[in-house]
Amino acid sequence: MILIAGLGNPEKEYGTTRHNAGFMAINQLSHTHGIDITKTKFRAELGSGKIADEKVVLLKPQTYMNLSGESIRECMEYYKLSPSELIVLFDDCDLDIGAVRVRKTGSGGGHNGMKNIIYQLETMDFTRVRIGIGKKPPRYVLADYVLGRFAEEEREGIIQGIETAASAVSDIIARGADYAMNHYNKTNSR
């Protein structure tokens, strides 16, 4: 079984903000693979199904971004999953809009959701898919930028990025993280 967790903030007002790219990617996976996200458990919304003949759980923590790791840890403990059975999707303001990067390990950087996951799991060794939301313009406060919505001219790029991230997850499951890193990381500019 693979746990696929997308990071975001739960309230409707945040639904289409940059910081919710992880939730958007989970919604894309739900739609593409016919996995209904209708259950509530582990302080999260979740659904289970199959991707590439592998059982998966799609998880959207409802704890707010900074406590995402608590929900993910609870789910992993329940299903007795190891960090190697976790894929996390999240926004990255160091990547151009729609760019996607796959990594098998790494720090949380400046992303508080990722920092909390690393803290809760006591490891950096889990697969992550970073979704580019564009660089913060000068004079913007980072919190205001990531909680802002995409401009009209950015929408096509983020939609493509969300679809690419969902494809990357499918390839990670079917072909492995190394394949996905070789395929997706070189086809997306930084």
Name the catalytic one among 19, 33, 111, 183. Answer: 19
Which amino acid is residue 56, in one-letter code? V
Identify any residues that bridge with 59 across adjacent strands, giving them in sequence order: 5, 46
Q: How many CB atoms lie within 10 A of CB 115?
A: 16
CB atoms within 10 A of CB 50: 12
User: Is 19 annotated as catalytic?
Assistant: yes
Sign of CA pseudo-dihedral 111, 89, 172, 163: negative
CA distance linking residue 122 with residue 89, whole number of Å: 18
Of 94, 104, 75, nearest to 18 (Cα)?
Answer: 94
Report yes or no: 33 and 55 within 8 Å, Cβ to Cβ. Answer: no
Task: Show which residues are catalytic.
Answer: 19
